[in-house]
Amino acid sequence: MKGIVGQFFFQFGLTVAVAVLVSLFVSFTLDPMLSSRWRDPAGGRFSRVPWLGRFMDRVEAVVEWVHVVYGQMLEWAISDAKHRLYVPAFGVWTAARTRRWDALKPRRATISNRGIVLWTALLIFCGSFALLPFIGKEFSPQVDESFISLRLNTPVGTSLESTDGKVREVEEVLKQFPEIVLAMTTVGSWDGRNYARVNLKLTDRGDRSHSQKDLERAIRYALQRIPGIELALGYDRPIWVNLLGPDPDTLKQLISEFAERVAKVPGIADMEISEKAANPALSIRLNNDAAADLGISVQQVGATVRPLLAGETVTYWLGPDAQNYEVNVQLPREGRRLASDLGNLYLSTNKRGPDGELRMVPLRQVAEIVETTSPQIIKRQDLQRRVALYANAEGRPSGNVGDDVKKIVDTMQLPPGYRFVIAGQQEDFAESAAALVASLGLAIIFIYLVLASQFASFTQPIAIMASLPFTLIGVLLALLLTGTSMNIFSMIGFVMLMGLVTKNAILLVDFANRSRRAGVALHDALLLAGQVRLRPILMTTSAMIFGMLPLALGLGQSGETQAPMGRAIIGGVITSTLLTLVVVPVIYTYLDRLFEWRKARHAARQARGAEAADAPASGD
């Protein structure tokens, strides 16, 4: 996979693969040795710690109770008991001769316990998709980094001093928040003198009662009372839509109409358009005939005007502190404020005066100086002019807000040659979803190939892999109950479950196969597999749940990042284990009957072929 999504999946995939290989090596070497040395005594295991002994006795009693309940449940699930059903909607044929259909007469049907189990599991799986609209989605969860960045700008043409004054007003408001321990302000940037950035360092997460998200919401509300500034929080805003087209005026009109509709979307905050008001500028239009007569070129005019207006470093000065300082030459401010001031600049010509010296002429003699406007910056994409809309999401996951913006994009009527391009985190989320589908497909294929080779069967891996869909139920429930969004980390957890949840089904199917090879009947082999393998299944599931619990709680700095992955894994393991213990044996019985039916059919076909081959011989 490419891009940032590929980097995430590669890191987690490599880590899990190496950890599993090391675990496999330990299970084949260290575990047998320790088991031979550390034998479990027959009794009195916790005689020195009475309270621990009482606790373990209660745990043992609970496990035994689970064994009994599970045994009864499994015996009911795989039995062939029939239940009569009445389905009026289907009707019944009322007369054998006329074959007349009576849709009002109830039709009698039966369903076995195994059918009830399968249909129930299928309905639960399908019903889990109804949870999707209630689960938010975003590319990555917001992390509490104890750091907030504010970007503000004043109207175009504002002086540096005026922008600094607005920033000082912002700083006075920020003093009301005791959670801010440090503020660093930068006034002016390459974007212009009307831009500023304020970086805030917060107290550690454990030392404050409000999260970073709550503080951002409060700061945004408090700064809205300062007139004359536009505010945006963060460096990269998740909502980003580009508009491409040939004509800048049309682009400006279309992006304005688009912004008006986007502003009404719930959850939109800090919306900004890249197309700003043009900066005031002076246009020097050279009189080509007059300039050519005097030998003045466009390059000469630019080389004369630029250093006088913008300044130019002509030398360096070594100060008393032994540091070199630039010496910059520039016209004084009062000499470069008006267009008429610029016209008083003198240019050298190739004409000589009566005294033999080269003549100097004012700029206004060879050029017209016009006040105009100039765009701050021109951006292009795919050889077209580009304007963009940026926005933050507040109160809703950015993915859901982005979906509403996407609906507006789809309904906008654009002239020929103009188009929208979704970018930012929306593009990253779409890429991660596509990568998830590809990863799931490869994981399922590889799991099936491995299981088919190990079990020497093409059908039994289907029973084992039946536990995979049930992980989705737990993942969605866990995300919904914990208020977690569907993001790249929860997706990674879902992919990791593909290799984790099949182990329980493998334990059941492998033991059932060994029992059947020993001569045990199918029904008894499944009951025995469930009873014997229940304890290892509960142990491995509990170990996985408690191992992922610190991750799911989001403990530590930036713990919110990995928390969705831990919650998804815990939810998927729980539901997959509960359903696997019942559904996998039921599917095993169906596949076994299918195998026996195909075996009997093949034998019957061979018998008919042998009879047909022997028939001419007997006739002779």
| pLDDT tens digits for range 363-378 | 888 888 887 777 777 8
- What does pTM read for this prediction? 0.78
Note down the domain range covering 308. 279-374
Q: What is the DSSP string of 285-346?
A: EE-HHHHHHHT--HHHHHHHHHHHHH-EEEEEEE-TTS-EEEEEE---GGGSSSHHHHHT-E
Is there a single domain that holds both residue 198 and residue 331?
A: no
What's the domain count of the chain?
3
Torsion region of 228: left, alpha or beta (phi above 0 gives left; psi -120 to 50 gives alpha): left
How far is the CA of 34 from the CAs of 31, 51, 471, 540, in angstroms?
5, 27, 34, 19
Last residue of a domain, one of 374, 399, 418: 374
- pLDDT higher than 80, residue 413: yes
Question: What's the pLDDT score for residue 460?
Answer: 87
Question: What's the pLDDT score for residue 258?
Answer: 93
| pLDDT tens digits for range 519-577 | 898 889 999 999 899 999 999 899 989 989 988 888 776 678 888 999 999 999 999 88
* Residue 336's CATH number: 3.30.2090.10
* Residue 222's CATH number: 3.30.70.1430
Question: What's the pLDDT score for residue 326?
Answer: 87
Residue 39 or 126, more confident: 126
Task: Establish if 576 belongs to a structural domain.
Answer: yes
Task: Establish if 286 belongs to a structural domain.
Answer: yes
Is there a single domain that holds both residue 574 and residue 466?
A: yes
Is there a single domain that holds both residue 466 and residue 569?
A: yes
Question: What's the pLDDT score for residue 96?
Answer: 47
CB 401 within 8 A of CB 267: yes
Is there a single domain that holds both residue 311 and residue 233?
A: no
Is there a single domain that holds both residue 314 and residue 182?
A: no
Task: Establish if 559 belongs to a structural domain.
Answer: yes
Return phi, psi of residue 186, to 5°. Answer: -125, 120
| pLDDT tens digits for range 249-271 | 899 899 999 999 999 999 898 88
* Residue 566's CATH number: 1.20.1640.10
Task: Establish if 308 belongs to a structural domain.
Answer: yes
d(CA 447, CA 511): 19
Tokens of 76: 């009911």
Query: What three-state secondary structure class fits 284?
Result: strand
Torsion region of 41: left, alpha or beta (phi above 0 gives left; psi -120 to 50 gives alpha): beta
